[in-house]
Structure 1
Amino acid sequence: MYFRLRDGLYHCQAGRRVIFLDLIHDRYFALPQACGSAFQKLVSRRGEGFDGAHEALSLLIGRGNLIETLVPDGSLSATVIHSVEIDHQARKLPTVHMPTLALALYWELIISIQLRSRALSAVIRRAAEIPSQSRLGSPATGSRLSRMVSAFEYTAFVFGRTNRCLARSLAMFSFCRARGVPVHFVIGVRSDPFAAHAWVQKDAVVLNDTAEQVNLYTPILVLE
């Protein structure tokens, strides 16, 4: 007997707490200590049940968040991504490529409207489905990415900086994906006190924030 998470549910261990992101219902929740310990045991066993599992995990099972299955499916695997080490140098550039800035403003406006009018799960799904022709080997990829990074520094003068991490990060991810630049969109959380944050990174480089800031958070959801 194995267990799997229902669709739209993501997890991580942030500090001493097991935290979940319920993307379908647009909420976060943390497990009590005993249930969290049992869940971590289940994760270490790759979803395979153990004696007393039903009782220890009753909070998750009873709410339909943890489902019995005959084979493991990987839904309990921890989120894996490069640790962020440095900021992108283009964030400090004094100049901006105007056509790129116009597109960055367009994407941030579109994503902002979507986040106000649609469920978060729908906005994220739409971003992940943007057609992308990866140009990983193109010599122009580096300069294209630098222009995008610089442009999103300037969108803050229009949309502001406060409470913009989700919209700006989804906009940057969508723009990069549409232009064939491979990056990762990340949502991270921390506990005691709880907080959530979003950013974009390429390998070990954070593109729209500082390494110091994003390393305060544990990744819970990653799009590529």
Structure 2
Amino acid sequence: MPLTPSPHVRVADVDNDLILLDLSDDSYFCLSGEEADEVILALRGDEQNPESPVIAELLDAGLLRAVDDLIPAFLERPMPENGMPPRASTLASLTLLPAILAGLIHYQLHRKTLLRRPVRTATRKTLDDAEVIRLVRRFRQLRILMPRSGRCFVQSWLLLRLLRKRGVAAEWIFGVRTYPFEAHCWVEWRGRVLNDWADHVRWYEPIAQF
């Protein structure tokens, strides 16, 4: 029977290492070597070893589940392009300050559930393409005011919130790499990275998209 990650789990194949992201407690797990190979093959639809201890453990832990039909387990995305505009003037950027402060308060109150309750995109579009770029430019100028701890997470979520509340269907992308293990996130819009450089995020294998 085919296997797939449980609804609260995301997976990535990073050069034959398997990374699992458990959204229920925002934790990562890594499998390598033969254990990773077994699980990756099973998730890609190959017949799994019925006596595999690692697969049995993942099933018992609720990280994997059996399904009737194969469900794609790995996130496939085209390579993003550079889209990060230059910073705006400080004076123009200050117009975003109330929204940034409101977002930071929301973040402090709900940061443990942000991945399980992503910001919804407003149904009514209010920004055209040029206005999106202007907003991102102003946001970049204010990043110095934001927390340094977990910087990519906080800044990406704040930018996503600003855009989606204005009807812009931006995407929050999480990626992982190994040796050493590192997780990173960024915001994309129409295949363009808005708050990082494409050459940087290409080092990471996408594991989740919100």
Contact kept? 1:21, 1:27, Cα under 8 Å:
yes
1:83 equivalent to 2:79? Answer yes
Cα displacement (A) at 1:178: 1.0
Contact 1:100 1:151 in 2 (8 A): yes
User: Which residue number corresponds to residue 64 of structure 1?
Assistant: 62
1:154 is aligned to 141
Aligned-residue sequence identity (percent) comes to 23
The residue that corresponds to 2:185 in the other structure is: 198
1:206, distance to aligned residue in structure 2 (A): 0.7
Q: Could you report, residue by residue, the CA deviation over 1:172-201 in whole angstroms, capped at 9, with x for unpaired residues?
A: 112211110111101111101000111101
1:51 and 1:189 mapped to 2: Cα distance? 25
In 1: Cα distance, 2:175 partner to 2:205 partner? 5
Answer yes or no: is the 8 Å Cα contact 2:177–2:183 preserved in 1: yes
Q: Check conservation: 2:82, 2:194, Cα contact below 8 A.
A: no
Corresponding position: 1:123 with 2:120:
no
Deviation at residue 162 of structure 1 after TM alignment: 5.0
What runs of 5+ residues in structure 1 fail to find an aligned partner? none
2:42 is aligned with 1:52: no
Q: In structure 2, list runs of 5 or more residues that go unmatched.
A: none
- 2:100 is matched with 104
- CA spacing shift, 1:112–1:82, aligned 2, 3 Å: farther
Question: Taking structure 1 as the reference length, what is the TM-score of the superposition?
Answer: 0.81
Deviation at 1:146, TM superposition (A): 1.5
For these two proteins, the number of residue pairs brought into alignment is 208
Residue 126 of structure 1 aligns to a residue in which SS? coil
- Decide whether aligned partners of structure 1 residues 73 and 179 sit closer, same or farther in structure 2, where only a CA change above 3 A counts: farther
Moved segments of 4+, more than 4 Å: none
1:14 aligns with 2:14: yes
TM-score by length of 2: 0.86
Cα RMSD over matched residues?
Answer: 2.3
Q: Return the offset for 1:73.
A: 6.0
Once the two structures are superposed, residues 65-91 of structure 1 have per-residue CA deviations (whole angstroms, 9 ceiling, x without a partner) of 22223x1262x42113332221322x3
CA distance in 2, matches of 1:185, 1:134: 20
- 2:2–2:42: 8 Å Cα contact kept in structure 1? no
